[in-house]
């Protein structure tokens, strides 16, 4: 647990509460972490990735991998800070989505993974599916996953080291109660759906 991460996210107004959000899963919630609000702020993004580096500084790491798109930024900054900590070049690369929804290395980046000790970084974990796919991609490319770092784990019960198949280092935990539409107390109270962040706009358009 690292409250500094949550403080950084609050500073850039990435944590929003007391509203009515539609999540990627289709469920509804009263709180939301808008991870995209962090990335324009290079100082704060760097600070988060410095915390990643500090959390795993005792591990042997050659390469940092994140899933496109946000993971590109995280992998670069984390590799930068780890390079300073370890006094050697630590590579920063990323995976991209396949048509089947998996993750794969393109652009020749697999050569920075094969035979290397790899740290996987991700912004948020709700189901952990994206991070797990990156772990699988690293293993398929011949790399050894020494750890998975995330800014915030939103699913404490299901997203674990056992699920990911690698040591797990969440910097913070922020569990959000979510509801199916039919059970949503916000809907029952006629709280307006937020259309600025999340999937509220698409949800409302689907109802027209």
Indicate the Cα dihedral angle 198, 11, 82, 132, nearest 10°: -20
Query: Which pLDDT value is given to residue 143?
Result: 98
> Cβ(187)–Cβ(84) under 8 Å?
no
pLDDT at 202: 93
Decide: residue 92, CB within 10 A, 0-12 exposed, 13-18 middle, 19+ buried.
Answer: buried
User: Do 193 and 22 meet the contact criterion of CB atoms below 8 Å apart?
Assistant: yes
pLDDT averages per 10-residue partition of the chain, 208 residues:
84 94 88 94 97 97 95 97 97 96 95 98 90 97 98 91 96 89 95 93 90
Question: How confident is the model at residue 178, as a pLDDT?
Answer: 86
pTM metric for this prediction: 0.89
pLDDT at 2: 52
Domains belonging to the chain, first-starting first, are 3-198 (3.40.50.2020)
pLDDT of residue 89: 98
């Amino acid at each position: 647990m690292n409250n500094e991460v949550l403080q950084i996210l609050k500073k850039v107004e990435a944590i929003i509460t007391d509203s009515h959000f539609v999540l990627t899963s289709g469920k509804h919630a009263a709180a939301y972490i808008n991870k995209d609000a962090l990335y324009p702020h290079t100082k704060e993004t760097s600070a988060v990735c410095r915390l990643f580096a500090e959390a795993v500084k005792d591990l042997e790491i050659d390469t940092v991998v994140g899933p496109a798109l946000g993971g590109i930024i995280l992998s670069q900054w984390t590799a930068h800070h780890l390079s300073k900590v370890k006094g050697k070049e630590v590579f920063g690369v990323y995976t991209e989505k396949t048509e089947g929804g998996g993750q794969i290395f393109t652009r020749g980046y697999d050569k920075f993974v094969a035979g290397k000790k790899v740290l996987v970084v991700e912004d948020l974990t709700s189901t952990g599916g994206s991070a797990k796919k990156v772990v699988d991609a690293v293993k398929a490319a011949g790399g050894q996953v020494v750890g998975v770092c995330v800014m915030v784990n939103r699913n404490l019960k299901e997203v674990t080291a056992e699920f990911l198949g690698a040591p797990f280092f969440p910097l913070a935990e922020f569990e959000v109660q979510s509801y199916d539409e039919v059970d949503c107390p916000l809907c029952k109270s006629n709280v307006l759906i937020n259309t600025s962040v999340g999937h509220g706009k698409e949800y409302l358009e689907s109802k027209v």
